[in-house]
Amino acid sequence: MSSMDSYDDPKPRVRPTVLTVICVLGIVFGVLGLLTGGVGLISQLFSSQIQQAVTGGQITGPAPEAQTQMVSRTLEISKKYNPVLIPLTVVKILVEGALLIGSIMTLGFKLSGKSMLAGALVAAAILETIQFVPSTMMRRETQAAVADLMPQIMAAQGARGMPVGFDMSSMMNGIGTVTLVFGFFWLAVKIVLYVLGTKYLRRPDIEALFTSTSQEVR
């Protein structure tokens, strides 16, 4: 037996399945959050330019005035909530970026990545709860504006318009209710996942796994 056999090989690190699932979900949520946050921020920042382009141009089709008014009213509603939603969207992009980076680093057993991921999960749970309120209010007002003007557009289509007795307001209220319930359910699911993920990352055995890894690096 050679002297080399007297040295113990470093114990291979085994990543728990639950930790892998948390990191994969963090990457997915982070990428989707960055995409939706980026698109939302651009639309919020350039809502005035969009409104000028629409009102300055000519809309063809049935009831062009109603269509123009609908676009203008929806953009006005968006501008009304921009002072609240724009800062929240900027913070959301930062949090989603931290969630993405932290998840990738945690997959590599980086202690700083685990700390970043845990903090991003807490921040995401708080931020999305706050953001849910103004986003829902804006969505409800937009649906009310569409319900108010859509009958004019559909009536202008003649035979393809609304059937007798059709109530656009009731339909939009129904859609709004379904959207609200689904949005609240999805928010609750994400918060539960965030909380469970944070608690798992703070478990003593997971803490020990990353602590031993950082000591090996030193």
Which residue do the tokens 């608690």 mark? 199
User: Percent of the chain at pLDDT above 90?
Assistant: 47
Q: Which DSSP helix (H) or strand (E) runs through 12? A: none
Distance CA 112, CA 214 (A): 10
Domain residue ranges in the chain: 15-152+167-207
pLDDT confidence of residue 94: 96
Distance CA 212, CA 100 (A): 24
pLDDT confidence of residue 5: 46
The 10 Å Cβ neighbour count of residue 196 is 13
Phi, psi of 181, rounded to the nearest 5 degrees: -65, -45
pLDDT confidence of residue 174: 81
* DSSP secondary structure of 113-165: HHHHHHHHHHHHHHHHHHHHHHHHHHHHHHHHHHHHHHHHHHHTTGGGSPPTT
The two structure tokens encoding residue 12: 């291979």
Instruction: List pLDDT tens digits, range 37-90.
Output: 999 888 888 776 766 665 555 555 555 676 777 778 888 888 889 999 999 999
Q: For helices 47-56 and 17-45, give the axis angle rounded to 10 degrees.
A: 50
What is the Cα Rg of the chain in Å? 25
pLDDT confidence of residue 112: 93
Amino acid identity, residue 178? Answer: V
pLDDT confidence of residue 79: 86
Residue spans of the chain under pLDDT 70: 1-13, 48, 50-64, 66, 152-169, 212-218
Q: What is the pTM (predicted TM-score) of this model?
A: 0.78
CB 29 within 8 A of CB 92: no
pLDDT confidence of residue 1: 41
Distance CA 74, CA 50 (A): 11
Distance CA 155, CA 133 (A): 34
